[in-house]
Each structure stands twice: as structure tokens, then as C-alpha cells.
Amino acid sequence: MARIHKLGNSVYVAAERVFNWGFGNRWNPFYHLGSLTFFFFWVVLVSGLYVFVMFETSVGRAFLSVEAITHDSWIIGGVMRSLHRYASDAAVITIFAHMFREFFRDRYRDVRWFSWFTGVPTLWLTVILGITGYWLVWDQLAMYIAVASAELIDWLPVTLGSMVLNFIGSEVSDRFFTLMSFLHLLAFPVGMVFMLWIHVSRISQVAFIAPFGLSMGSLIGLVVLSLLKPAVSHAPATQAMVPTELHLDWFYLNIYPFLDRYGPGWAWGISVGTTLLLILLPWLPPRKAKPAAVVNLETCNGCGGCARDCPFGAASMQPRGDGKKQFLLQSMVDPALCTACGICVGACGASNPYRQANSDLLIGIHLPLFTVDALRTQTNVALESLGREEGRILVYGCDHAAHLERVRMPGVAVISLPCIGMLPPSFLDYALTQGAQGVVVTGCRSGDCYYRLGNKLVEERLAGVRDPKLFTRTDRSRILVFWAGAEDQTRLVERIAAFRVWLIAEEAREPVVAVREKAS
């Protein structure tokens, strides 16, 4: 499985590098696949409501009303119908891109199994919504879908093989057609909203809104596509003529050609088998969970930083249970939700390396495998290893971004954390006062943190808009923040080298304006 992850991730990294070049890091669609999906759903909803206003939910008038929407009011109606179609396709693309990206990045196992597991029925609902949407047009493609779907359902031992008779040898009733309209316009959308809510229920600070520029660019692209290639219907549905050519939407209707060739049994087998495989993937094989964060009530003052910053809602604030009346609340950690990222450690106000200098550094919450005291010890060891080298730099990075071992060079020491969000800002000041001439903070690309929020939280702490904040006395010119994924390895090394040149020149007080601009 690790080889599959590595191979697939390499493909994604290559694609993301291209999109970073074209769109920039901020608007790279690969970093906003979830929020883009929500945006496309909004486009589907708004355009669908417009189409529904003029749509007639009867067998005799459905096709004619869609034709009137498409051609009689083409400037608005035709574009809205096409937007409805292409935004639905775009949502499928972003859903699958998001799903495979999470799989190849190995972000679907351990405590993240829930989001993956609940994403599977959401995918099913999306596909069924698309199928019923094509059904309502009631053209030859809709008739083909209706008959084929009836064959699929009749194969199951629940309908006594009678559903297909609604479409062969008899007229389809308005009542049955109204039922399909109800399913597409109300029942399935409500189910979709409910499943999406469950899908993100274990995630805090969910990004529902994509960057404005990316959203508007996507919308303009959909409008242009709608104008260049409008969505149109086939001939009206009739039992008197067998269609000779059908233009399938392969995003939603891919199972039907397979059904034609191999029959409903194989179609059900492939569909159910694929669904079961997706559901079981988080346990094939299961990942060994890391020990969850532990609360130390002796030093927890109930500030709530851990609960505020936890990306997965594992930390929460509860009424105090140890009798300390000066504090009303205490932190509680749900081990079933904790990813052991350490972001809660970086959010704890007691994570100050200057405290308890001659004893263990105890804070309100810590990781059993990597305590903040161990981070202070590693920092001291790294600083000692730099000696009196000119341009001494200490690099703080994370385990899921650029390979820090490749950053090591004379005068540069590195420390890797589970997530850069674990780094308390006070450690930057500590490193500078204890011998480092510069500090580099690096981690996953902005907007692409392995634990979702690490680099964003660090930026806000350093900017002074989120606690704990960087000391005002700290010389910020000696702190370089550069987010670098595995694809940015070379750039990270170059930036550190340029930063070191500037530090050496600054120590010697030489005019090096050009070098400083390069390092900033």
C-alpha cells in the first residue's frame, strides 16, 4: 500500500507543481478541492432552481418545457441549463480528485476513517442525483436510463421483476414521473446536505468557501463552456423508436454501457464491490495509532487554546474536576479523534522554554512521544551543534513536507516536528537568544497542511492575531518563514542559503541590500 501511496502522490505533486506555476499557491485548485465542490453544488442549486421554475413535472410536458427553457429563452435559460449540467460534472471531478488525493496522501486511516467512510454514501448520492436529473429531461437518453435502471432494480429480489413494465409496453404515468421529480428536487438533495454535514462533523474550522478569485474563475469557465457547447436534449422519449446514438455523460452514466454488455448481475457486483472496497480501505491495512495528547491538570489553566486550535475537535473544554477554584474549566482530549499532530501543544500558553529552566518543562497538554520539554532539549542540542559558525541557523520543520535532512549544511541545524503547528512562538525567541543568528520556520505548503491548519495557525501566531503570540522584543528580521512541500526542496535550500548570506553580512554590518532582498 505504501508503494501505491508514493506512486499516486508523485503524480499529484507533479500536477500541483504545474498548477502552482499557473495559478499560484493561493489559488491552486488542488488545495481547495473540498471548498470547490461546495461552490459547484451552490451553482447546481441556483441554476437548478431557475430551471425548476419553468419545468413542468409531467410526462407530456417535461420534454417540451426543457426545450422551451433551452431554446426560447436561450440567453438565460439555456445558459442556466448548461451551467446546471457542467457544474454537476465539475463537482464529480473535484470529489474524485479530493478522494484520490486524500488516499495517496494517506489521510484516510486512523482517526480520519470517519470522514472517508461517510464520504462514500455522499458519492453515491451525488451520482444518483445526476442520474435522476437526466431522467427528468424525458428524451431518448432519459428513456434509455429509465429502462436500464428498471432492469437493475428488477434484478434485485424486491420488485418481482415488474418495474421495467412501467417503460415497456405502457405509458409512464404522471404520478410516477412526479415521484422522480420529488426524489431529484427534494429527497436526495436533503439527504446530500445531511451526509455532507456528517462528513465534516469531526473536523473543526472547515473551509466551506473557496478563494474568491478561484471561485469566480471557475464560474467564468463554466459560463464560457456553456456558451461554446450548450447542453441540449436528444429526441423526445418514445417507445416506437430505438435510439441509434446516445451521448452519455460519463461522469454519471458510466455504469450503463457496462450493464448493456454484461448484464445487471455484473453491474451490481462491480458497484457493490467497489463500494465495499472504498468503505474498507481505512483498515486495509489499519494504521497504528499514535498515543493521543494528554492533559496535565497541574499546569492546565483552562485557557482553551488547545480546543480552539485543534483541527479535528479532539480537544474540548469541560468544567474543572480537580478542585482548583481559580480555574473554571479544564481541557479534555478524546483519544478517538486525536491525530497526535501536536497543534494543541503549540496553542498552550504554558509552552514557554524559558519556564522551569532547570527542570522538566511541564505544560497543560503534551504528546507522550514528543513533549515540549523534549523539543526544548532538541533545540539546545541543535544550538550546541552549530558552535560558533558564522550565519548560524536553526530550522524548524515538519515530518510531512520538505525533507529536512537534505537542508543540513554547515551552520544549519534542523528539528522536525509532527506538525509545524506544534511549534510555540516563544521557541523562536529562545533560539535567537541562545545562540542562533537566524531561525527558519517551514512546513507544508500554505493551504495544504497534512493536519489541515498547522501553517495557518503559525502565521497567525507570528502575526500577533492568535495566542500564543511571538514576543514583541523578538527581532523578526531574523525569522524566515517559507512553506515548502517535497516539490519545493531545491527552493527551500536556496532560500536558506540566501538567508544565511544575509545573516553573515548583517553580522559584519556590510551593505548587502541586494542579498537581503533575495532572502526576504
Q: What is the pLDDT of residues 213-249, one digit of tens each?
A: 999 999 999 999 999 999 999 998 876 666 778 888 9
Helix or strand or coil: residue 94?
helix
- Tell me if the domain spanning 32-283 has CATH number 3.40.640.10: no
CA count, 13 A, side-chain hemisphere, 275: 14
Question: How many angstroms separate the CA atoms of 445 and 31, rounded?
Answer: 9
Helix or strand or coil: residue 236?
strand
C-beta of residue 424 within 8 angstroms of C-beta of residue 2? no
C-beta of residue 449 within 8 angstroms of C-beta of residue 421? yes
C-beta of residue 291 within 8 angstroms of C-beta of residue 365? no
154 grid coordinates: 428488477
Question: Do strands 393-398 and 365-366 pair parallel, antiparallel, or not at all (unpaired)?
Answer: unpaired
219 grid coordinates: 464560474
Residues in the chain: 520
Find all residues with CB under 8 Å of 160, minimum gap 6, and list them. none
Check residue 263 and report its DSSP letter: -
Q: What is the pLDDT of residues 251-264, one digit of tens each?
A: 999 999 999 899 99
402 grid coordinates: 520538505
pTM: 0.86
Summary count for the chain: helices (H), strands (E): 18, 8
Question: How many angstroms separate the CA atoms of 410 and 85, rounded?
Answer: 58
| Alpha carbon separation from 191 to 34, 124, 128, 186, 281 (Å, rounded) | 18, 11, 11, 9, 24
Nearest to 184 by CA among 226, 148, 139, 137: 137
Check residue 166 and report its DSSP letter: G
Check residue 289 and report its DSSP letter: P
C-alpha 187 chain-centroid distance:
27
Say what angle helices 188-199 and 33-54 make with each other, to 10 degrees: 160
- Where do you find CATH 1.20.810.10 in the chain? 32-283
CA count, 13 A, side-chain hemisphere, 314: 25
State the CB neighbour count (10 A cutoff) for residue 273. 10
Say what angle helices 33-54 and 212-228 make with each other, to 10 degrees: 50
C-beta of residue 480 within 8 angstroms of C-beta of residue 519? yes
Question: How many angstroms separate the CA atoms of 351 and 362, rounded?
Answer: 8
SS3 labels along 406-441:
HCCECCEEEEEECCHHHCCCHHHHHHHHCCCCEEEE
Q: What is the pLDDT along the chain (520 residues), one digit of tens a residue?
A: 888 998 998 899 889 888 988 888 788 999 999 999 999 999 999 999 999 988 888 888 889 999 999 998 878 889 999 999 999 999 999 999 999 999 999 999 988 999 999 999 999 999 999 999 998 999 999 989 888 888 888 888 875 556 555 555 456 777 777 888 888 989 999 999 999 999 998 888 888 899 999 999 999 999 999 999 999 999 988 766 667 788 889 999 999 999 989 999 999 999 999 999 999 999 998 888 889 999 998 888 889 999 999 999 999 999 987 777 778 889 999 999 999 999 999 999 889 999 877 678 889 999 999 999 999 999 999 999 998 888 999 999 999 999 998 888 889 999 999 999 999 999 999 999 999 999 999 999 887 899 999 999 999 999 999 999 999 999 999 999 999 988 888 899 999 999 999 999 988 765 544 444 445 5
